[in-house]
């Protein structure tokens, strides 16, 4: 009797254990879940916000945000749609104001246009005084440079001035000369402001000669005036590389790699299209955050 009970309990135990044993997983071939190509609203919204801040220095208005998001959602943030939205922002009047403000702050400590008008008035007054007859040519030159500086934003808005032209006017006026007094400081400032480095001893020596009206060499080109120095400097490959570096740091918070630097700088130098350079960088997956 005891053996029967033991056998019966043993059979129950084996049945329960068998029932609780984990079944082997069955793998069905070619049953991989499709990738999720959707982009979240948060990513799209953040991208629109960043574009507006990067290009015109403010967040989008409610209507601008909704319009931008609607455009980008249509094809899940397609690059062509990114480019289209960037074009919309670039066409806003605030774009040139922001462009000028950034350069003016960097190069002239945010000089107010009223200062241009004030010194134009002062120099014109000196032109009426015989005691300053010896300086009339210099005074007229300064007045012309100040007038060009005063109309930078207006000329950007009219399309008659490029970014390179804006930089040239900002470093070719009375205020820039006062901030960077003396030939040596002027040459050093150009390297610091546009190439983000100090000139070598050779570059400094040759640059000073050129700015002072003697024959000098910059970037393998010969010049013998301050105007020629600016022309050579602002058309050099190093200048375009500096512009690429500036935007990489501003948009990506990093330095460009050597291949990136060469590619973008060469394209910008060939096209002279600053907006296109911005569009390429701002429409990238890296900037979007994908």
* Cα–Cα distance measured from residue 237 to residue 220, given in angstroms and rounded to the nearest whole number: 11
- CA gap 259, 266 in Å, rounded: 11
- C-alpha to C-alpha distance for 197 and 208, rounded to whole angstroms: 17
Q: Is residue 206 helix, strand or coil?
A: helix
pLDDT band of 38, cuts 50, 70, 90: low
SS3 at position 180: coil
* pTM confidence score: 0.85
Q: Say whether pLDDT at 160 is over 50.
A: yes
Is pLDDT at 4 greater than 70 in this prediction? Answer: no
**Closest C-alpha to 186, from 172, 167, 200:** 172
Indicate the range of 3-12, 88-97, 192-201 predicted with least confidence: 3-12
8 vs 185, residue with greater confidence: 185
Residue 8 has pLDDT above 90, yes or no: no
What pLDDT digit, counting tens, does each position of 76-127 carry?
999 999 999 999 999 999 999 999 999 999 999 999 999 999 999 999 999 9
Given this model, what pLDDT does residue 39 score?
Answer: 79
pLDDT at 128 over 60: yes
pLDDT of 29: 53
> What's 272's DSSP letter?
-
Residue 88: alpha-carbon gap to chain centroid: 17
Output the six-digit token pair for 116.
Answer: 């241009």
Assess whether pLDDT exceeds 80 at residue 36. no
Of 23-32, 137-146, 230-239, the least confident:
23-32
Give the pLDDT confidence score for residue 22 in this predicted structure.
Answer: 46
């Amino acid at each position: 009797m005891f053996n029967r009970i033991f056998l019966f309990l043993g059979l129950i135990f084996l049945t329960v254990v068998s029932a609780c044993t984990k079944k082997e997983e069955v793998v069905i071939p070619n049953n991989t879940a499709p990738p999720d190509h959707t982009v979240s609203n948060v990513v799209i919204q953040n991208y629109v916000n960043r574009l507006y801040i990067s290009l015109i220095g403010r967040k989008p208005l409610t209507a601008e945000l909704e319009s931008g998001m609607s455009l980008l959602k249509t094809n899940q943030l397609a690059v062509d749609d990114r480019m289209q939205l960037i074009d919309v922002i670039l066409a806003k009047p605030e774009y040139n104001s922001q462009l000028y403000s950034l350069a003016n702050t960097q190069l002239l400590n945010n000089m107010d246009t009223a200062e241009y008008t004030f010194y134009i008035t002062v120099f014109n007054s000196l032109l009426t005084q015989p005691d300053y007859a010896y300086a009339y040519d210099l005074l007229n030159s300064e007045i012309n440079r100040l007038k060009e500086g005063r109309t930078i934003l207006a000329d950007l808005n009219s399309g008659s001035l490029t970014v390179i032209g804006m930089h040239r006017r900002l470093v070719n006026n009375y205020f820039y000369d006062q901030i960077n007094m003396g030939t040596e400081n002027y040459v050093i400032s150009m390297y610091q402001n546009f190439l983000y480095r100090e000139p070598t001893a050779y570059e400094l020596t040759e640059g000073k000669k050129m700015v002072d009206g003697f024959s000098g060499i910059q970037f393998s080109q010969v010049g013998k005036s301050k105007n020629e120095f600016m022309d050579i400097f602002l058309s050099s490959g190093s200048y375009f590389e500096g512009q690429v570096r500036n935007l990489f740091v501003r948009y990506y918070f990093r330095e460009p790699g050597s291949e990136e630097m060469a590619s973008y700088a060469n394209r910008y130098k060939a096209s002279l299209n600053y907006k296109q350079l911005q569009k390429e960088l701002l429409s990238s997956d890296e900037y979007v955050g994908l």
